A = this chain, B = another copy of it.
Amino acid sequence: MPNRNPNLTRLKAGYLFPEIARRRREFAASHPQGERVISLGVGNTTEALLPHICAGLEAGARALGCAETYSGYMDEGLPELRRRISKVYYGGRFDIDEIFISDGSKCDIGRLQLLFGADTRVCVQDPSYPVYVDGSVLQGVGCKEGAKDGASGYGGITYLPCTAANGYFPDLSAIGRGNLVYFCSPNNPTGAAVTKEQLAALVGRVRETDSFLVYDAAYSDYLRDSALPKTVFEAAGAEYCAIEVNSFSKSAGFTGVRLGWTAVPKTVKYTDGGSLNSDWARIMATIFNGASNIAQAGGLAALDAEGLREIRSLTDFYLGNAALIRSALQKLGVPCMGGFNSPYIWADFSPEKSWDVFNRILEKCRIVTTPGAGFGPAGEGFVRFSAFGHRADVEEACLRLERL
């Protein structure tokens, strides 16, 4: 038979979130009586779409039923949506062919690996969103360096620890020459948001090492402190070394709608002078066929004046949840990061192990969290609480946490 992809066999554990869902189902099956389980685990939005954005989606669906407004393949994305993203998120600095519409950041992060060779050294914040590492391993990064497994970190990946000791901003000197650096701010899972000075230092280090930066700004609409940068392109020189992924999932509640984008400036070039922008266009044309035109119509509604008010209102709501969870944990004396400028609270239960904390909270409080060790070696001892949930559930969860 054809070979199994050897990179697949290096992915020792299952992907984090299905594993959590499996444990939740097992727990529910073995505990049919008593309180229902509340999920503060996966970062899955729970609140209904607000009316203006939802009307945009409905109109997008309806348009496909009329001869005059029907549309088929729109691989590169609706030009007006790309123009509006450039205007709203980047002050209009990008041409529409520098904004690529996607079906979400996760999908683009999985495809982005195709731009680079398997010999590329990848750097990630530790802890970080698991797709940076798992996607890299799938594409063969580090396959020559033997089979270190996920628990202690993979070969070929440089982990940049983000801990209370360094204020959750890593030591940049570990970024080596010609690395591919993933960076997320506001961070998933820690909730840490970079300052302008930190961002300048990060971009400076990426440039001085001739590295590339993939900047994940999927939570930028949760920033409330106006001094904090909302995009990597606020840093001088980022247009020569960075691309940015972003999404409507957490801002407009589009986790089930599927819409995101990646900004790839034409000024980002390989050593050979080739442009990442044209390679990315080739990759997207070859293995992607565009986001749903209905989702794009919804995205357009989300970025007009009324839509932006709805995004503000929805993110305010989830930030309200975050404040409640953070406050409940602090009352218990649990050291916490995040919960401001971010929908995640990163709670330090060390020296207890993450999965043990996960089990204890599930058994005592019937609350699902996400074990920090799933985000990288430095996540051991932590759990992540997600603020995505109905208010009544969050309030109930906060009461139950007192049992710990």
Measured CB to CB, the residues of A under 8 A from B are: 1-8, 11, 14-15, 17-18, 42, 44-51, 54-55, 57-58, 60-62, 64-67, 70-75, 103-104, 106-107, 109-111, 114-121, 130-131, 134-135, 138, 140, 178-180, 210-212, 253, 255-258, 269-272, 274, 279, 281-283, 285-295, 298
Contacts and interface: CB of A to CB of B under 8 A. Distances in A.
A294 B293 contact: no
20 contacts: A3-B120, A3-B178, A3-B270, A4-B115, A15-B286, A18-B281, A18-B285, A44-B73, A49-B64, A51-B65, A61-B61, A70-B253, A106-B287, A107-B289, A110-B111, A110-B286, A138-B286, A140-B140, A257-B293, A258-B289
A303 to B, nearest CB: 17
A97 to B, nearest CB: 12
B115 A294 contact: no
A32 B109 CA distance: 41
B57 A271 contact: no
Contacts of A298: 61
**Chain A interface main SS type:** loop
A69 B349 CA distance: 36
Contacts of A61: 54, 57-58, 60-61, 294, 298
Nearest to A8: B279
Contacts of A75: 18
A294 B57 CA distance: 9
A178 B2 contact: yes
Given A3-B116, A103-B103, A48 B65 contact: yes
A62 B58 CA distance: 6
Given A3-B120, A211-B1, A294-B294, A70 B51 contact: no
Contacts of A286: 11, 15, 110, 130-131, 134-135, 138
Contacts of A64: 48-49, 54, 57, 253, 256-257
Given A18-B285, A110-B286, A72 B46 contact: yes
